[in-house]
Amino acid sequence: MALLAKIDTFIIDLPTIRPHVLAMATMHRQSMVLVRITDSDGIEGIGEGTTIGGLSYGDESPEGIKLAIDTYIAPLLEQVDLSRVGSVMATIGKYVVSNHIAKCAVESALLDIAGKRLGVPASELIAGGRRRDSMPVAWTLASGETGTDIAEAEAMLEARRHNIFKLKIGKRPVAADVAHVGAIKAALGDRASVRVDVNQGWDEVQADRGMAMLADVGCDLVEQPIARHAVAAMARLSARHAIPIMADEALHGPIDAFAIAANAGARIYAIKIAQSGGVFPAHAVGMIADAAGIGLYGGTMLEGTVGTAASAHLFATFAQLQWGTELFGPLLLTEDVVTEPLTYADFELRVPTSPGLGVAFDEDKLAHFRRDRTTSHHTLQGA
């Protein structure tokens, strides 16, 4: 039986290579919650909970994630066998409603411990284990400037780092946004897939017009064009247009996945472990999509290396990953807090092969970027 010896939860703020423009916010840095759990055998696991733009994107903030873990989840961990990850998460789910990102961070750390205990990568603990060792990775062009975005895409193609590009749109008039997308697609041609993410920025009328125009300029998919709760409108748009809708913000775990599939609201799912509530619920989302004939895309909350590694371990187990992934979060950062970065080459991300998540903290960098700048943790008496 593995008991909790110590848990340390902290926020770090890392600078980004450029402003990242979304429909609801512009990011100038990424704030993420990191959790370090040590069990009674001395095995340490790490996890990450990251959101986008504070509370402008969703209902969890970095500060709220840390509070949920420290105040409500940590005491529950004192009462359970940490080696039984599924059972632990069921206990947390019984006493903590929602707070998906906080739960994801803790579950990732427990999977890291479990993999290290058994000497296997975390992907081998999910369903039937990994089916692939690498996966395609998209890059988001989010400067908002057409010329800048084209130059950035050309540089990525030249470096063989990305040949899938997603454009953040929704702030400008529909015609202006489509002109921006069309110019980029025309410049890249058949060398790359071009997609858009509206981040719920349109209403149904705008989406109707925008989707038709985007299909005409060669765009491959439209991610979450309208509000996440408007499943009926998503179904109407999906029925009217050949260009597929990808559900993202509408997808918060298996219940949403089933409802969207039942209503034909999307033909692609952007699966995010944080938004789903962890690796195991996200796996269930993938199974529902498979059963419904819905394509899969490995989404991101712009996590750093720890969260990206956890996502990659899950996506490596999917039988189909038709639309690739978006696990570029670490590449958006100018600094990192791990000893070895993830490997990106030949348009793909390689899944770590070391036990657990396969990544480890660089303690000096971690100490530098912690908001509290001190090591404060909860150690159990007598541990």
Q: Give CA torsion, residues 310, 312, 318, 321, to 10 deg.
A: 140
Predicted structure pTM score: 0.94
C-alpha R_g of the chain: 20
- For residue 339, the model assigns a pLDDT of 98
Please check whether residue 383 lies inside any domain of the structure.
no
- CATH code for position 76: 3.30.390.10
Q: Which DSSP helix (H) or strand (E) runs through 7?
A: strand 4-21
DSSP annotation of 71 reads I
Same-domain status, 302 and 341: yes
**Residue 381 within a domain:** no
| Residue 236 falls inside a structural domain | yes
Residue 77: inside a domain: yes
d(CA 101, CA 165): 26
Do 248 and 57 touch, CB atoms closer than 8 A?
A: no
Domain presence at residue 283: yes
- In whole angstroms, what is the distance from residue 342 CA to residue 237 CA? 38
**Cβ atoms 221, 246 nearer than 8 A:** yes
75 & 130 share domain: no
Q: Which helix (H) or strand (E) holds 5?
A: strand 4-21
Q: Which amino acid is at 197?
A: D
Confidence (pLDDT) at 20: 67
292 and 248 within one domain: yes
Identify whether residues 258 and 341 lie together within a single domain: yes
pLDDT, residue 374, reads 55
Residue 258, domain member (yes or no): yes
Q: Which burial class, exposed, middle or buried, applies to 134 when counting CB atoms under 10 A from its CB (0-12, 13-18, 19+)?
A: middle
> Rounded to an integer, what distance in angstroms lies between the CA atom of residue 208 and that of residue 372?
47
Secondary structure in 3-state letters for 345-375: ECCEEECCCCCECCCCECHHHHHHHECCCCC
In this structure, what is the dihedral angle of CA atoms 361, 367, 368, 373, given to the nearest 10 degrees? 150
Helix axes 231-240, 204-216, angle to 10 degrees: 30
Domain CATH number, residue 213 = 3.20.20.120
Residues 198 and 255 in one domain: yes
Tens-digit pLDDT string for the chain (383 aa): 999 999 999 999 999 987 766 656 677 789 999 999 999 999 999 999 999 877 877 899 999 999 999 999 999 999 999 999 999 999 999 999 999 999 999 999 999 999 999 999 999 999 999 999 999 999 999 888 999 999 999 999 999 999 999 999 999 999 999 999 999 999 999 999 999 999 999 999 999 999 999 999 999 999 999 999 999 999 999 999 999 999 999 999 999 999 999 999 999 999 999 999 999 999 999 999 999 999 999 999 999 999 999 999 999 999 999 999 999 999 999 999 999 999 999 999 999 999 999 999 999 999 999 999 754 445 454 33
- Residue 333 is given by DSSP the state B
What is the span of the domain harbouring residue 72? 4-119+360-372
- Give the residue carrying structure tokens 């541990």: 383
In a domain? residue 379: no
Active site residue 171: no
CA distance 245 to 144: 22
Within this chain, do residues 282 and 205 fall inside the same structural domain, yes or no? yes
Q: Is residue 332 domain-resident?
A: yes
Residues 61 and 154 in one domain: no
**Exactly one of 166, 168, 185, 272 is catalytic; which is it?**
168
SS3 35: strand
Q: How many helices (H) and strands (E) does the chain have?
A: 13, 14
Paired tokens of 272: 């995010």
> Is there a single domain that holds both residue 131 and residue 200?
yes
Task: Tell whether 34 and 137 lie within a shared domain.
Answer: no
